[in-house]
Chain A
Amino acid sequence: MTPAPRRTRLRPTDLLRLGMIGPRTRRMRSALSALGISLGIAAVIAVTGISSSNQAHLLERLDRLGSNLITVAPGNGADQKPAPLPPTAEKMLADIAPVQQVTATGATKAQVYRNDLVPTQQTGSLTVLAARPNLLDVLHATVRSGRWLDTASENLPVTVLGDRAAQRLGVTAPGERVWLGGQWFVVSGILAPNELAPELGTAALVGWPEATAHLGADGTAATVYLRSHPERVPDVQAVAAATANPAGPSTVAVSRPSDLYTARSEAKNALTGLVLALAAVALLVGGVGIANTMVVSVMERRGEIGLRRALGARGGQIAAQFLLEAVLMGLTGGIGGLALGALTVYGYALAQGWPATIPLATTAAAPLVSVLVAAAAGIYPALRAAKASPTDALRSA
């Protein structure tokens, strides 16, 4: 008698071809199932990509603005009232060894209005500050239009407005006048927005001598801006308070605007967590879609399952065929979603003028996650296909 036949394996290429039968013969249905996964993946890629592109853009800007800027400002005293910096603060801070540049704005008692008819309470939350001539240099700030204060104009009723101040005062171009400290000041320039010193956006800046002479400035600094040696920033931060006000270091507020700026951009990322959760739900729904397609497919293809069993397929080989079919759908969906998401990120970044970046981990994880989701979705239908009795499958088909 002949020996009992040995069990045989399906070759990987044959298995792959088997897995392609479903997607090949039911194109529309498979494509729609894969689309569910695609949308989930595309959402994840788009959200993480846009957020990381935004981050890259912020870091790029921070690099331009310099992360070695330190601000020293009056904090609250023991009585919870602002404690002004001593008049010596500016000079003392300049003497810290790693400090390369110092500049300051000084508080005044004046307010600025559009004209002399505006009631005095309607200050528009604008401040009038005295400015050192090197203020823009140190902050890497620029005027959007007009000119910065020079040695002549800093002694004259001339002001430079922050961008939001100009907007609120209805000033559109240099040369217009504003009502400042009870007299007309000519606007000589308007500042471009600066992320490191947002407080200047709502300020009207006047020359230090003019402020002292006519606007009640007492010569003390409202904010001192320091540029430190880039590698010594923490050292300078540590000693700045005591240097500025040796009598009361705890009443001095020292901060590094780039830290705040980064923190703000990270706070925005809390929102992306929510969007990612939604994307995960989309992926889950995509997985349910694939499971549904596979269950229907297994029911429709009972004849094929019975035939394959008659041709000598083991239950496991039937399961492998259907599982692979689900996985291929997931993989297709994942790659499609990757392409769709990447396109969205590049388009959005291009429109915003950002450098487009997609985190590598996300790019690698996208097809992997979609395959896992699809495999999980395919397990139940595949096992059902494997367990179907061949005689029942052939009879009912």
Chain B
Amino acid sequence: MTHHQPKGTTPVLQLTGVTKEYTGSPPLRILHGIDLTVDHGELLAVVGPSGSGKSTLLALLGSLDRPTTGRLCFEGHDLAALTDPQLAALRAHRIGFVFQQFFLLPGLTTVENVATGLLYSGAPATLRRTAAVEALHEVGLGHRLHHHPDQLSGGEMQRVAIARALVGNPALLLADEPTGALDSASGATVVDLLRTLNAKGTTIVVITHDRDLAASFPRRIGIHDGRIDFDERTPHPAGAPR
């Protein structure tokens, strides 16, 4: 933390011996000693059956929760050293989330929903709106700016949610079962979108239980019973890092 590393060599995420326990009797240990490094510009899938601990891992990666033991660094910051408000600010500025259930706010239009992604970063309203319109164009929903969520299809809703996660140019996009609630065609569109965004430089971690979906990603981390089962890479024609 004291030495300065040039940008690009600092991993986005670096986990060393990370465990997570939930208090109770006996305490429930969900993650056992996870070691993991995610570099800038990666597109990776964390795959595992339900109950394997992958959702808990996502919460830790997104700083929504803290490890019980071990070290978790985000862009070189040891999260243990940051206060809760600092973690909130980190999420507001550097991390974007996409969820299976979309979590679009029903009373707001598409643009307003996407602009909410910048609300807690302190950006003024006009800037939030401009950025939201831009992000919606980027996910191919430039024609749906003033629709309400109940007027959109599932695939469109998930694209709105992706635009909301992207609108602040985060260092890391975390997607929790992004295609879980979609039919295969809409799911494919969403995965294509994630791939396009990654090609433009966004670091993306997708959590899924779908092995076929995971297989299409350049890096796959298998997780089972709270331990990393495998960490495989497919050589990428475009030359992904490492």
Contact = CB atoms under 8 A, between A and B. Distances in A.
A8 B90 contact: no
Contacts of B84: 314-315
Given A14-B119, A21-B105, A391-B64, A312 B89 contact: yes
A189 interface: no
Interface residues of A, number: 34
Interface centre among B76, B77, B92, B121 (most CB of A within 10 A): B92
Contacts of B122: 8-11
Interface of B: 4-5, 7, 10, 55-56, 59, 62, 64-65, 75-77, 82, 84-86, 88-95, 97, 99, 101, 103, 105-108, 116-117, 119-122, 124-125, 164, 171
Given A1-B75, A25-B107, A314 B99 contact: no
A312 B95 CA distance: 9
Contacts of A64: none
Given A315-B84, A317-B120, A397-B101, A5 B90 contact: yes
Interface stretch (A101-109, A285-293, A301-309): A301-309
Contacts of A5: 86, 89-90, 92-94
A313 B171 CA distance: 18
B97 A389 contact: no
A268 interface: no
A4 B77 contact: yes
A339 to B, nearest CB: 26
A312 B99 contact: no
Given A311-B120, A312-B121, A391-B65, A397 B85 contact: no
Interface of A: 1-2, 4-11, 13-14, 21, 24-25, 303-304, 306-315, 317, 389-391, 394-395, 397
A397 B105 CA distance: 13
Given A1-B76, A9-B122, A391-B64, A304 B103 contact: yes
Given A5-B90, A24-B107, A310-B62, A303 B120 contact: no
Contact of A310 (B55, B64, B77): B64
A3 B100 CA distance: 31
B75 A312 contact: no
A10 B77 contact: no
B97 A2 contact: no
Contacts of B116: 308, 311
A322 to B, nearest CB: 14
Contacts of A309: 64, 88, 91
Closest 8 CB pairs of A and B: A312-B92, A8-B122, A1-B76, A25-B107, A312-B120, A5-B89, A307-B103, A312-B91
A13 B101 CA distance: 29
A312 B93 contact: yes
23 contacts: A1-B75, A1-B76, A4-B82, A4-B90, A5-B86, A7-B86, A7-B88, A9-B122, A10-B119, A11-B122, A25-B106, A307-B99, A309-B88, A310-B64, A310-B97, A310-B99, A312-B90, A313-B120, A314-B85, A314-B88, A315-B84, A390-B65, A394-B99
Report which residue of A5, A306, A317 has the largest number of chain B beta carbons within 10 angstroms of its beta carbon: A5
A302 to B, nearest CB: 10
Contacts of A394: 64, 99, 103
A190 to B, nearest CB: 70
Given A11-B124, A314-B88, A391-B65, 11 more contacts: A4-B86, A7-B89, A8-B89, A21-B105, A307-B105, A309-B88, A310-B64, A312-B89, A312-B90, A391-B56, A391-B59
A55 B46 CA distance: 78
